[in-house]
Amino acid sequence: MATYKDYMLFDKLPHTWCAGCGDGIILQSIAAVFAEMELDKHDITLVSGIGCFGRVDDYLDINCMHVTHGRALAAATGVALGNPELNVLVTMGDGDGTTIGGNHLIHCARRNIDLTAIIANNYNYGQTGGQYSGTTPTDSITSTSPYGHIEQNFDICKLAEAAGASYVARSTAYNPVQMRKLIRGGMEHKGFALIEVMVACPTHYGRYNRQGEAADMMKLMNEQSVPVEKARTMTEEELEGRIVTGLLVDKDREDYYTKYKKIIDAQNMDK
């Protein structure tokens, strides 16, 4: 039986992430899902953007594309439409996926492109020194908001849902069992799947906001988490500052390629 190790490039270790960074937990979870699904390596393509989390492709023994910051979903759209049989995964940070690349996110969701996007949300641009991104909570401290961030932040899952995503889920690096289940669900879903995973960046966000060591950040993440089933019984005030986890949206909506192929096939029948 395959294990996550069969999909890893161990000769590329040690990895470049800081001690306590949550990104490695997602890497292991992705490889574990490949093993659970017994996927042939040639049937997977992973497209990643630039950033700390974008480095996941360095450690996986599968076909990968490392593309420009903010453009991973655009490149992955081409891959998914070019070969609809592939399992296409896209790995991005919150800066990559929702800030510089936010436009691609909403249009991928709207079009229902059949791919699985995983966004590691550490509330900042980790790789370039902890600048604020579109998900940085209001009032928090970053290298570019030393007196407190004045902007309103995005809720990535709500944004994806509003744009038409047919599968939306959220998990945390604290809960890899749930994360694996949700990533697998996204990969098995036909259409655009978005999984947001909350991760700790102790080097920048945690340090600036005095959240302690990596383990303290993980504890906080767990305390803030609330399963979606329970969240549905809570008021807006009670949900303030909480991380709602689980499967948030799961809709049956025909994906882009299937719809397009039907039109082309019908045209060819008329000839």
Site membership for ligand TPP, residue 17 (CB under 6 A): no
Site membership for ligand TPP, residue 57 (CB under 6 A): no
Select from 29-37, 73-81, 124-132, 138-146 the region that touches ligand TPP (CB under 6 A). Answer: 124-132
Site membership for ligand SF4, residue 17 (CB under 6 A): yes
Select from 109-117, 121-129, 160-168, 237-245 the region that touches ligand TPP (CB under 6 A). Answer: 121-129
- Taking the C-alpha atoms of residue 84 and residue 254, their distance in angstroms, rounded to an integer, is 14
Taking the least distance from each CB to ligand TPP, the nearer of 200 and 247 is 200
Out of 69, 111, 184, 204, point to the residue binding ligand SF4 (CB under 6 A): 204
| 208 contact choice in ligand SF4, ligand TPP, none (CB below 5 to 8 Å, kind-dependent) | none
Site membership for ligand SF4, residue 201 (CB under 6 A): yes
| 186 contact choice in ligand SF4, ligand TPP, none (CB below 5 to 8 Å, kind-dependent) | none
Tokens at residue 241, please?
A: 């500052």
The upper half-sphere exposure of residue 258, i.e. CA atoms within 13 Å in the direction of its Cβ, equals 10
Out of 48, 87, 133, 142, point to the residue binding ligand TPP (CB under 6 A): 133
Site membership for ligand SF4, residue 122 (CB under 6 A): yes
Out of 102, 202, 243, 245, point to the residue binding ligand SF4 (CB under 6 A): 202
Per-residue contact string for residues 43-82; x = within reach of ligand SF4 by CB under 6 A: ---------x------------------------------
| 69 contact choice in ligand TPP, ligand SF4, none (CB below 5 to 8 Å, kind-dependent) | ligand TPP
Nearest approach in angstroms of CB 119 to ligand SF4 is 13
63-66 and 44-48: which strand pairing? parallel
| 164 contact choice in ligand SF4, ligand TPP, none (CB below 5 to 8 Å, kind-dependent) | none
Give the per-residue SS3 of the chain.
CCCHHHHECHHHCCCCCCCCCCHHHHHHHHHHHHHHCCCCHHHEEEEECCCCHHHHHHHECCEEEECCCCCHHHHHHHHHHHCCCCEEEEEEEHHHHHHHCHHHHHHHHHHCCCCEEEEEECCEECCCCCEECCCCCCCCCECCECCCCCCCCCCHHHHHHHHCCCEEEEEECCCHHHHHHHHHHHHHCCCCEEEEEECCCHHHHHHHCCCCCHHHHHHHHHHHEEEHHHHCCCCCCCCCCCEEEEEEEECCCCCHHHHHHHHHHHHHHHC
| 204 contact choice in ligand TPP, ligand SF4, none (CB below 5 to 8 Å, kind-dependent) | ligand SF4
Out of 29, 77, 80, 93, point to the residue binding ligand TPP (CB under 6 A): 93
The closest alpha carbon to 127, from 152, 153, 92, belongs to 92
Site membership for ligand TPP, residue 134 (CB under 6 A): no
Taking CB positions, which residue lies at the least distance from ligand TPP? 93
